[in-house]
Amino acid sequence: MKFGVIIFPGSNCDHDAFWTIQQVAKQPVTFLWHESHDLQNCDAIIVPGGFAYGDYLRTGAIAKFSPVMESVREFAAGGGLVLGICNGFQILCESGLLPGALMRNVGLKYVCKPVHVRVENADTPFTNACDQGEVLTIPIGHMEGNYFCNEATLAELEQDKRIVFRYTSGVGEITSAANPNGSVENIAGISSPGGNIVGMMPHPERAAEPELGCVDGLKIFHSMIGAMAAK
């Protein structure tokens, strides 16, 4: 199994994701250039965090037109695993691979800190190494992480169990105080209808080694490895 990590102009978490996959999870991984259509026979794609194309226009609005995202759309349509982290989540929404949009944080401030997220659906290729309702500690770092969708979309996400992560307190309580950006219903991550695409604002690659203070994020990568191995 092989991971691919996309590099856009302005990506700044691509090397972090690469390191975690190669050095911590011990899996083959390659970088994928934004101007190339070639996904190099990868089995899973990471759309990393950062500021793709400088976040001009709005986050992800230019990245969605890149050649590599055309290939990612085809890859995802065929059932390939795609994980969008932070700016990657924004890009997936702009590309139409996930519903909704990421808006400016409530308070209009950049927020960078560890947060608690509850696993709302442990039966996905990205969370199968977690327990249902488990609370993970994973850092965030964003200015536009305020997830929004209309009522019909929200009802659909709820009904189909496509809300994968919610911001909570350390004991798993959904409160406004635990919501760092104003996201509707404390949503921190969602999946596509087929479950093979997930976007999340927290950075699991920043919580994958003891030296970083937490290893909960590694469960996301272990889940993907397990899902690919089970195919």
**Catalytic annotation on 173?**
no
- How many C-beta atoms lie closer than 10 Å to residue 25's C-beta? 18
Which one from 13, 86, 130, 149 is the annotated catalytic residue?
86
- 48: Cβ contacts below 8 Å, ≥ 6 apart: 5, 6, 7, 11, 13, 14, 16, 17, 85, 86, 87, 88, 205
**Catalytic annotation on 214?**
no
With H, G, I as helix, E, B as strand and everything else as coil, classify residue 168.
strand
Which one from 94, 120, 144, 205 is the annotated catalytic residue?
205
Instruction: Go through the domains of the chain in sequence order and give each one's CATH number.
Output: 3-229 (3.40.50.880)
Residue with tokens 């105080």: 177
**Catalytic annotation on 86?**
yes
Region of residue 224 (left: phi > 0; alpha: psi -120 to 50; beta: else): alpha
Q: Specify the amino acid at residue 178.
A: A
Q: What is the pTM of this model?
A: 0.97
Q: Write out the chain's pLDDT in tens, 231 residues.
A: 899 999 999 999 999 999 999 999 999 999 999 999 999 999 999 999 999 999 888 899 999 999 999 999 999 999 999 999 999 999 999 999 999 999 999 999 999 999 999 999 999 999 999 999 999 999 999 999 999 999 999 999 999 999 999 999 999 999 999 999 999 999 999 999 999 999 999 999 999 999 999 999 999 999 999 999 998
- 78: Cβ contacts below 8 Å, ≥ 6 apart: none
